[in-house]
Structure 1
Amino acid sequence: MKQSLFENRHQNEWDSFAQQLDALEKGKAQAEACKDFAADYRQICQHLALAQARGYSSHLIDQLQQMAMRGHQQFYRHRSHIGAQLVRFVFGGFPRLVRSEWRFVCSASLLFFGSLALMGLLTYLFPELIYGLVSPDQVSEMERMYDPDARRIGRFGERGSGDDWMMFGFYIMNNIGIAFQTFASGLLLGLGSLFFLLFNGLMIGAVAGHLTRIGYSETFWSFVVGHGAFELTAIALAGAAGLKLGWALLAPGRLRRGEALRQAASKAVQLVAGVILFLLIAAFIEAFWSSTTVATPQVKYIVGACLWALVLGYLTLAGRRSHAPD
């Protein structure tokens, strides 16, 4: 192909790419305008290789080479912004998303915390109810875990502090598994999320009511009050994400169900990303703080109250001053 024909065929593409580069270098580029930047950059590199292979003029090769070098710098500079995007999501995007989805968050919280509180009260008043949800062997194991004389509280068996990292990994896998189950089951028209929110609430409430009734309240509540701020909130938020998926299938409005589900999933997945962060924090606190007997229960209550205030303040106040897109 002659150089003149090659230039005429691709000049508009080069001009468009040059405009993208100018916008990126000046920091004025819009996300939508540059969504095809990576593909355009690869195209420029291909044109440069063709020009060199066909022996086109040095003027054209220098022009394409210059654009390729500028594109390379912008491509890798913007890829490095992933960390900055993560920071913006954590400190602003996630709490704003939770507030924007307040209907699903409130519904899931009412189902989960409501069933937990109700079952806790009923089990405390009617002790035999615990055996309708938990087997006698599991009840005995729970009593051993929260025995005031235990060396490490909340553990299956006596473990030393050297096992904290192992328990940290166990808590991560267990908690994320519960959260993902609660979220993904929302695809069953929301019924799966509804079931797991109620099931987990009833189970936790039953154990809490039983241990409180037999006199293990101090060891149990001082153990859960710290990491519970993040863990229990995360379960409710995972349920909210699942309910959002289910509602998109049940009431897609004027959209087709597939499109409604796609739009709902984009927000629901972001909620789950925040849930995972909460569960990582909860697992760390549970492994290294909640189970220790060095701190007195009173100290744990104070720390737990601060953590609950931190979570509630973060979700209700963080990101209110920033309105930049995430």
Structure 2
Amino acid sequence: MDLDAYVLAHHPEWQRLEELTRRRRLSGEESDEFVERYQQVATHLSVVRTSAPDATLVAHLSSLLSRARNRAAGTRVGTWRGVAGFFVDRFPAALYRLRWWCLGTLAANVLVTAVMMLWLLDHPDVEQSLLSPQEVDQLVNQDFEGYYSQYAAGHFAAQVWVNNAWVSALCLALGVLGFPVVVLLFRNIANLAIIGSIMTRHDRGGHFWGLILPHGLLELTAVFVAGGVGLRLFWSWVEPGELTRSQSLAREGRTAGTVALGLVAVLFVSGLIEAFVTPSGLPTWARIGIGILAESVFFAYVFVIGRAAVARGQTGDIDAALLEDRVATQA
């Protein structure tokens, strides 16, 4: 197809649609013309994509159709109903659909952490190569517990939230590459295993778990969910299944965006627990109980609300109405 000739032949129709889109009010005749022009331009976009996929022209026509669609349907306004729909349908459906990737990532990290801690406990010389005796004493007797009370609770909650959100965001953003996610997760659990083994060797294991578990259960689960979704994003182009690689990657990328938004709320909750519950004067059993409760609520959210959302046809992807126009064309 001669792209220049095609543009020259149909440019007046594109201009006319843009003109109608910009008008504040349309007469009955103009409204009919608007619908007709919209259908024509959608067909032109499909033809260009199929026969002469020029990126600039595709972007221009897609933008024109998007503005026209918003003009026809009215501007979408975010409402509390939309927020509720996200947390009742889209986010839990994404978690439930990707549950095996998330659970597999969680199980693998827990196993590796346990193995690393046991190995480090059996090799005390490694501890000596990482920290001096003075640094170990500082960590065991002051730094570890002091970490949770060195800032005002509100400030600490914000700091923790931003840090964990950043780690989770990296897992999702770098998921398409696969290996960087593994590196990020390993660094995360390596720090946990090293500190845990040092605290245990110096008879502070109970203190360690008493401070880690209240917030760590939900916090680490959120990070592992991000890692699992990131690895699924990588696998979407390695093994796209019935879809093309681009379609599979696009779908999982949009779903990863859904999970990223939802995890902001999950990590906010874990940050509040870490700031207000972990350093509190509550008994250890009460603090750990709060952590277990938060973790149980999250899993119930995934497997009860998420399963119901999937049964209603939700996938975690964005609404079909928000996707680009796809119009069948005739030869």
Q: Same fold (TM over 0.5)?
A: yes
> For 1:9-48, what aligned pairs fall within 5 Å after superposition?
10-13=30-33, 39=68, 42=71
Work out the CA distance in 1 between the residues paired with 2:252 and 2:234: 9
For residue 242 of structure 1, what is the aligned residue in structure 2? 230
User: SS of the counterpart of 1:171?
Assistant: helix
For residue 128 of structure 1, what is the aligned residue in structure 2? 125
Change (3 A) 1:260 1:140: farther
Q: Does 1:102 align with 2:99?
A: yes
Offset at residue 245 of structure 1 (A): 2.0
The aligned amino acid for 1:221 is W
Give structure 1 stretches of 5+ with no counterpart.
1-5, 17-35, 44-70, 148-152
Offset at residue 233 of structure 1 (A): 0.5
> For 1:304-319, what aligned pairs fall within 5 Å after superposition?
304-319=291-306
The aligned amino acid for 2:170 is Q
Deviations 1:152-189 (A, max 9, x none): x3517x636xx11221121122111221222222232x
For residue 252 of structure 1, what is the aligned residue in structure 2? 240
Q: Does 1:199 align with 2:196?
A: no
Deviations 1:249-275 (A, max 9, x none): 323356554443222201111122222
Of 284, 303, 306, the match for 1:297: 284
Work out the CA distance in 2 between the residues paired with 1:122 and 1:321: 43
Q: Does 1:172 align with 2:161?
A: yes
Q: Does 1:221 align with 2:209?
A: yes
Change (3 A) 1:319 1:129: same
User: Highest Rg: 1 or 2?
Assistant: 1
User: SS of the counterpart of 1:212?
Assistant: helix
Of 199, 217, 224, the match for 1:211: 199
For residue 326 of structure 2, what is the aligned residue in structure 1? none
Over aligned residues, Cα RMSD in angstroms?
3.2
Residues 104 and 228 in structure 2, CA contact (< 8 A), matched pair in contact too: yes
Offset at residue 237 of structure 1 (A): 0.8
Work out the CA distance in 2 between the residues paired with 1:95 and 1:87: 12
Offset at residue 37 of structure 1 (A): 8.6
Residues 172 and 229 in structure 2, CA contact (< 8 A), matched pair in contact too: yes
Change (3 A) 1:318 1:142: farther
The aligned amino acid for 1:39 is A
Residues 90 and 258 in structure 2, CA contact (< 8 A), matched pair in contact too: no
Change (3 A) 1:175 1:321: closer
Residues 213 and 291 in structure 2, CA contact (< 8 A), matched pair in contact too: yes
Offset at residue 191 of structure 1 (A): 0.7
Offset at residue 317 of structure 1 (A): 1.7
Q: Which has the higher contact order (CA 8 A, sep 6+)?
A: 2
User: SS of the counterpart of 1:318?
Assistant: helix
Give structure 2 stretches of 5+ with no counterpart.
1-25, 37-64, 320-331
Change (3 A) 1:93 1:110: same
Number of matched pairs: 260
Work out the CA distance in 2 between the residues paired with 1:130 and 1:261: 43
Residues 175 and 279 in structure 1, CA contact (< 8 A), matched pair in contact too: yes
Of 271, 291, 302, the match for 2:259: 271
Q: Does 1:159 align with 2:150?
A: yes
User: SS of the counterpart of 2:277?
Assistant: helix
Change (3 A) 1:192 1:131: farther
Change (3 A) 1:270 1:80: closer
For residue 79 of structure 1, what is the aligned residue in structure 2? 77
For residue 186 of structure 1, what is the aligned residue in structure 2? 175
